[in-house]
Amino acid sequence: MAEIKLNKTELKIQKTTLDQLTKYLPTLQLKKQQLQVEVETAKNMEEGILAEMSKIKDYVSKWSVVLSQKLTINVYQMIQIERIETDVENIAGVDVPLFKDVIFVPFKYSFFIKPIWVDLAYEELRKIVVEREKLKIVRKKIELLSEELRQTSIKVNLFEKRMIPQCRENIRKIKIFLGDQEIAAICNAKIAKDKLKRKELLRQVEAV
């Protein structure tokens, strides 16, 4: 850190800086707390999605053998994605993605030739795809919020452990220096005054 100037101007600068830092620190601390809550909430959401996916997959596995049969219906066409609809939400100053919906390519098949399990497969497989896309969005959200939390934590630590203590130490040093200068100035003035008195007394003695 650059050496500070030991004068009144620098003292004013350091006091202003300290005032700004101490006022901004609570905002940073609040942001850190909010981000911690949001990251935890998003992680809980991730666990919920994984649990739902596992539940659906367990259910599908009971009859998934039919999907391996030779069919006139292309199962993968059932879950072909046209687009993922998302939005953006701002959390503690961070823009994060928000899942809205999965739009699938329309899937048509003959009512008369379809196997009896098609409707069930159509519904359950699409559920898995929706949860998968939700998971991607939530994980991106966690990534962005976690990075912002990391950066904010660094700033909080910097303020608490370095910048604010350093400002206070600088102010202490400047005050001590200026105080010593003031004492020295008073002493010098007193010495000068005593010299003048002695000179005046000597002049009066010589005049007798």
**Structure pTM?**
0.79
* Whole-number pLDDT of residue 145: 98
Query: Rounded to a whole number, what is the distance in angstroms from the first to the last CA of the chain?
Result: 64
pLDDT at 201: 64
Tell which wins on pLDDT, 115 or 48: 48
CB atoms within 10 A of CB 79: 19
Give me the percent of the chain exceeding a pLDDT of 70. 81
Please spell the DSSP secondary structure of the chain, one letter per residue: -PPPP-SHHHHHHHHHHHHHHHHHHHHHHHHHHHHHHHHHHHHHHHHHHHHHHHHHHHHHHTTGGGGGS--SS-HHHHT-EEEEEEEEEEETTEEEEEEEEEEEPP----TTTS-TTHHHHHHHHHHHHHHHHHHHHHHHHHHHHHHHHHHHHHHHHHIIIIIHHHHHHHHHHHHHHHHHHHHHHHHHHHHHHHHHHHHHHHHHHHH-
Write the pLDDT tens digit of every residue in 147-200.
999 999 999 999 999 999 999 999 999 999 888 887 877 777 677 676 766 666
Angle at 29 between CA 25 and CA 34, to 5 degrees: 145
- Grade residue 73 by pLDDT with cuts at 50, 70 and 90: low
| High-pLDDT (> 90) share of the chain, % | 60
Judged against a pLDDT cut of 80, whether residue 34 lies above it is answered with yes
11 and 178 Cβ atoms separated by less than 8 Å: yes
Distances from the Cα of 126 to the Cα of 45, 97, 119, 132, 197, angstroms? 20, 21, 11, 10, 103
Give yes or no for residue 115 having a pLDDT over 70.
no
The more confident residue out of 26 and 118 is: 26
What does the pLDDT look like over 1-13, one tens digit per residue?
568 888 999 999 9
Mean pLDDT (the chain, rounded): 87
Report domain 8-165's class. Answer: mainly alpha
State the pLDDT confidence band at 140, using cuts at 50, 70 and 90: very high
